[in-house]
Every structure is written in C-alpha cells, then in structure tokens.
Structure 1
Amino acid sequence: MREDTKTRRQAEIETVAYELLKERGYRSTSMLDIAKAAKASNETLYRWYGDKNGLFKTMVESNAGATKAALDAAIRDEVDPLETLVHVAPILLSMLLGDKAISLNRAAAADESGELGATIAAAGRDSVFPLIEKLIGRGLETAALAAPSAGVAAEWFLSLLIGDLQIRRVNRTLPEPSDENIRARAAAAISAFTKLCRA
C-alpha cells in the first residue's frame, strides 16, 4: 500500500474510532467494532496500531501534532521563546478545546480502568510539556525570562492559557470557543505570562 493511501486510510479509521468513542465510550469500543465500521480488517488495525491502546495513543499524538511540530521547530531553530509561545498558544488551546480532545477526555473520565487517561497523558501532556519547559528554559538561560524554574514557568503558562476551560468543555458547560475567542484568550495569557516572567 502506498504511503499516502495508508495515511488517508488511517485518518478514516481514526475518524470512525472518534465516532464510536462518542457513542459507546472507551471500554465498549472494540478494535473489531472499529474495523467493521471503517470497513477495514481487524488484522490491519492490529498490524498498524498494535492494540486498542495503540490506536488511541496514535489519535492523541495526531491531535497534538501541530503543537509539537511548532515547538520542535522553534527549539531546533532557536527562535525567541516568547515569540514561539505567541505562535503556539492559540494552536495548543484550539487543540485542547476542540471536539477530538474533548471526546477523548470525556471517554477517559468515564473509563474506570484509567487506561485511556494514562494514554492521553503519555501521548499528550507528557510529550508537549517538556517541549514548553525546554523552550522557556532557553528564555531563562538568556535572561529573556525570569522564573524560579523552567518547570514552574511552564506550569504558569499552561494555567494562564487553559485555566478551567477544558474541564468546562468536558462537562458540557462551555461550548466550543470560536477562533476569535481562542485568539483573545491566547493573547491575554501571553500578556499575563510576559508580565509575570519579565526579566
């Protein structure tokens, strides 16, 4: 199978997995259910993803991909940390408050095994947070930023950016914000973070 065909097919399978996740929850969604709904073979799903946990891990990684790519590029190219955070903040917030992340988090909240929650943490926050920490650490090294540590400053940044918005989306008390609302929230968070960590 050609790589572009495989990528397109994987996207279709993952779309079906999101739909079943919304309808049935994590525990009641099997690889066989996903394979049937996606008109794919069960063997293909296991070959590509390993198991159900591997499929959902891939889905989380795909959802966080734009944020990670922007952070990786900024770290590699040694772009100014604050400039990078200005660029990354709306991408990150849009991803975290989007339907895909919210569907995953709602399913994780209902999954008593904790398996999906652990997968989301490993493929999401645990892979993005170190990049934000590294980026801010460079700002501390060059004295562009001031904070007790890069880890503390990264926590401040995420708290200012996200607050309780994701929880409110998960429990259905907040609708999906518009692009304009995302940009405004990101700008306000960056402004507060800059004042807090101004060298």
Structure 2
Amino acid sequence: MLTDRQQAVLDAVLALMVEQGGDFSMTSVARRAACSKETLYKWFGDRDGLLTATVRWQASKVRAGNYDSQRLDAAALRESLENFAANWLKVISSSTSIALNRVAVSHAASGKSNLGHIVLDNGRFAIGERLKPLLEAGRAAGLLAFDDSEAAFRSFFGLVGRDVQIRLLLGDGLKLTAAEISRDASQATAQFLALFGAERPKARFI
C-alpha cells in the first residue's frame, strides 16, 4: 500500500514524462518530488523499480468496482462493467497515460529500456487479471456465457477502447468529456452483454 508521499513521487514521475518523455533521471524525480535520491532508492530500488511502481499506480486507477460475487445480479454486473469501462477510458485519455505509453512504445522499439514489458505486465495484463474475476463471477451466476475468460476480456477491452488509444498515441486531438466517457462505457457494456449475455437457467421442480 503506497503512502501519500510515495503517491506524490509517482505523480512527479508521470508529470516529468508528460514534459520530457522518458529521458528523466532519478535526480530530476527527486528534485520534482522534493525528496532525496536515497529515499527513492529505498522505496523503489532502481530506475526500473520506480517505473514499475509508476505504471502500477496509473493502472490501479482502472477498477471493476465493488460487487458481491456470491450475490451478483444483472444490474450489479452491468454497473461494474460500466464502471471499469469508464475508469479505463478516463485513464487512457489522460495526458499522463498518453505520455507513458508513447515512451513505452519508443523504448520497446529501440531496446532502450525494459519499460515496454513493464507497461504490459503491470498495465494491460494486470488490468485483465483484475477484471476476469468479475467475468467469471458473472458466468458462475448464469449471467454470462463464454469458454475462455481471456478471450472474453479481450472482446470487452476492444469494445471499450475501439480506436481511442491509438488515435491519442498518434497525436489526434481527441478530447473525451465525462458525458462522452459515460456514454461510451454504457454502449460498450451493452454490446458486450449482447455478445456474451446468458439467461440464468430456470429451476426444475420434481
């Protein structure tokens, strides 16, 4: 669990990425966050450790919401999926995520650092593992029908993201308002439920 002070450090890293791309030093982070380099190394280890913590911090903002897996109904499933979709759209359309992903793509292409793998492992893959329990709970409750939770997640991910992230990464001036994010999250959820929704089997009485 990150302290408020540690969160402030990671926000400083994200701010530097927006301003400078990936070419920042531990010294510049320490200066921006008003702490010592020794503190950074103590908290996060090396630069890769700091980057990993930063990616995890940004990805943690994408949540599936609170739900009771033992008492999941159609309304709670829809609400949780919509919350996840809205959180994810809000995060990926932020200037910090755009900068972070641009740096990760650049470093992955050049081999400059391990940031590409860090973003995949602690961003996309971690987010998938965060949502799959909800999908599996929906299947157990008879609300969803699918064979593979990874494939179901990828379908939902695609319906939510559409071409938004690639457009933003390539410099499109797309601006998503809160109302547009809410609308798109609701629409993606409805489309997903149309593809994977299943009615609960009726009880049989003997």
TM-score category (smaller protein) = 0.7 to 0.9
Question: Offset at 1:76?
Answer: 5.9
TM-score (norm 2): 0.82
Would you tell me which structure has more helix in proportion to its own residues? Answer: 1
One of 57, 61, 64 as aligned partner of 2:59: 64
Question: Offset at 1:62?
Answer: 1.6
Map Cα deviations across residues 38-66 of structure 1 (whole Å, 9 max, x no partner).
33211111111111122122222222223
Contact 2:72/2:141 (8 A) holds in 1:
no
Aligned residues: 192
Q: Superposition pairs for residues 113-128 of structure 1, below 5 Å? A: 113=111, 115-128=114-127
Question: Offset at 1:163?
Answer: 1.4
Map Cα deviations across residues 124-178 of structure 1 (whole Å, 9 max, x no partner).
1121102222221222233211223222111111100001211111111143311
Indicate the residue corresponding to 1:33 in structure 2. Answer: 28
Indicate the residue corresponding to 2:204 in structure 1. Answer: none
Identity across aligned pairs (percent)? Answer: 28
Q: Superposition pairs for residues 152-167 of structure 1, below 5 Å? A: 152-167=151-166
Structure 1: 5+ residue stretches without partners: none
Q: Which amino acid aligns with 1:51?
A: D
Contact 1:98/1:176 (8 A) holds in 2:
no
Structure 2: 5+ residue stretches without partners: 199-206
Contact 2:138/2:144 (8 A) holds in 1:
yes
Indicate the residue corresponding to 1:107 in structure 2. Answer: 103
Map Cα deviations across residues 87-137 of structure 1 (whole Å, 9 max, x no partner).
222112211222221111011122122511111111111211022222212
Is 14-23 or 126-135 further displaced after alignment?
14-23
Q: CA–CA distance in 2 between the matches of 1:74 and 1:97?
A: 26
Superposition misfits of 4+ residues, deviation over 4 angstroms: 75-78
TM-score (norm 1): 0.85
Contact 1:140/1:150 (8 A) holds in 2:
no
* 2:45 corresponds to 1:44: no
Contact 2:69/2:134 (8 A) holds in 1:
no
* 2:70 corresponds to 1:74: no
